[in-house]
Amino acid sequence: MTGLHVATVITRFEAGAGIVALRGAQALDPAAFRTTIITGSGDRLLGLAAEAGIEVIVEPALRSPIAPGDDLRALHRLTRLFARRGFDVVHTHSAKAGTLGRLAAHRTGVPRIVHTFHGLPYHEFQSAARRAAYVGIERRVGRFTDIALCVGTAVAVEVVRRGLVSAERVHTIGIPVELDAPARTPATRARAREALGLTRPGPVVGAVGRLAYQKNPETFVRALAALNRPGLTGVWVGGGELADRVRELAIRERAPVVLAGERSDIPDLLPAFDVFALPSRYEGLPVAIVEAMVSGAPVVATAVNAVPDVVVPGRTGLLVPPQRPDLLALAIGHLLDHPREAARLAADARARIGDAFSSKALGEELAAAYAPLNELL
């Protein structure tokens, strides 16, 4: 086979990072590149990759939690795999795969090492010691990272500010979304609500993401409880380790929240939402929020990391601080009470999403990142 052989290494082949990795691989010219995805675990994206003819290797030792035994095992196995397969490029995603994958690639002399920062592995809700440790690790592996692709301006700024990768090797990229996804109309709204099993006629506030600490579903539940509006329904699309806890919290808080679980038809469901809410503690630039804007749903989000790249206060949505369900509730209530303003924000947000968020744009960025250094100069 001809073309460069790319190993895409990702801890969990799921959610936003998995979608970016898959759509990036699909966007590459098959005559010039072929991709092997190496992951610790995955969901429906494994099947989608197989349908697209992309080789997938599952390495169970590659896990998100810090586990020295598994981490060392994953490093050894990745090192042997890279040495055996002779990849031209190793492209890593997420913190754990980014560290172990780049170390293994460096050890085996892979010609090109690329890493995508979807966000950063450290944040304000960690101890200072843990943050310092993560920064130190990122600086070390950053020394032999040829290109760092940062999802969102704020992520790129932080990478440069912290000296994780030298400035000339840091590039800011968008995320690939389905720009032709269904727009919000009375018909698509009705179909989406039917698909979600919603029968109540009142307003719907939706969120999409893993039920995990980062995404902060507890604040979503508490915000809806604080709204205390008859007829209001909250919907969270996505599964995760906090599902039982969130369900119990919703019952305890008497919050009208439906947990819709994992879905493969998210773009088709977004028109159901009168307001899209992102309550995350920290983020890069989530796929879901851009997809919500494409659908025409007005957005309220936490002011974290690269989210303000697309959610510009008073222009394309509303921003609130993280961990403030009271303020999230007020912002959601404001959009529900002022439909004209909500429609204006949604229209401006949809207009702001352009070709920078297409799969084609990502494919061009990846092709440039994978090219030999002398071709970039």
Distance of CA 369 to the CA centre of its chain: 20
Whole-structure pTM value: 0.79
State the average pLDDT for the chain. 88
The mean pLDDT of 37-66, rounded to a whole number, is 84
Residues 34 and 125 in one domain: yes
The pLDDT, as a whole number, for residue 264 is 81
Cβ–Cβ under 8 Å, residues 181 and 267:
yes
Domain coverage including residue 27: 4-176+358-376
Element (H, E) at 56: strand 55-58
Residues 193 and 255 in one domain: yes
Share of the chain above pLDDT 70, in %: 96
Residues 198 and 115 in one domain: no
Banded model confidence at residue 374, pLDDT cuts 50, 70, 90: very low
| More confident of the two residues 35 and 119 | 35
Banded model confidence at residue 346, pLDDT cuts 50, 70, 90: very high
**Which tokens hold the place of 372?**
């030999």
- pLDDT tens string 349-369: 988 887 678 788 888 889 888
| More confident of the two residues 162 and 326 | 326
Residues 151 and 54 in one domain: yes
**Which of 110-119, 122-131, 139-148, 209-218 bottoms out in mean pLDDT, i.e. has the lowest?**
122-131
- pLDDT tens string 198-213: 988 899 999 999 999 9
Question: CB within 8 A of 18, min separation 6: which ones?
Answer: 10, 12, 39, 42, 43, 45
Cβ–Cβ under 8 Å, residues 266 and 209:
no
Share of the chain above pLDDT 90, in %: 49
Residues 190 and 171 in one domain: no
10 Å CB burial of residue 361 (0-12, 13-18, 19+) is: middle
Residues 245 and 288 in one domain: yes
The pLDDT, as a whole number, for residue 95 is 85
Q: Could you tell me if residue 208 is inside a domain?
A: yes
Q: Could you tell me if residue 181 is inside a domain?
A: no
The pLDDT, as a whole number, for residue 373 is 43
Banded model confidence at residue 122, pLDDT cuts 50, 70, 90: low
Residues 79 and 158 in one domain: yes
Residues 27 and 130 in one domain: yes
Task: Return d(Cα 8, Cα 82) in angstroms, integer.
Answer: 11
- Is the pLDDT confidence value at 226 over 80? yes
- Is the pLDDT confidence value at 180 over 90? no
Q: Look up the CATH number of the domain holding residue 123.
A: 3.40.50.2000
Banded model confidence at residue 376, pLDDT cuts 50, 70, 90: very low
| More confident of the two residues 43 and 225 | 225
Residues 87 and 125 in one domain: yes
**Of residues 303, 314, 372, 310, the one with CA closest to residue 342:** 314
Q: Could you tell me if residue 167 is inside a domain?
A: yes
Residues 227 and 301 in one domain: yes
- pLDDT tens string 246-280: 999 999 999 999 999 988 888 899 999 999 999 99
Residues 72 and 158 in one domain: yes
Q: Could you tell me if residue 274 is inside a domain?
A: yes
The pLDDT, as a whole number, for residue 154 is 84
- Is the pLDDT confidence value at 377 over 60? no
Residues 170 and 228 in one domain: no
Structural domain tally of the chain?
2
The pLDDT, as a whole number, for residue 2 is 65
- Is the pLDDT confidence value at 116 over 80? yes
Cβ–Cβ under 8 Å, residues 195 and 271:
no
Q: Could you tell me if residue 111 is inside a domain?
A: yes
Q: Could you tell me if residue 286 is inside a domain?
A: yes
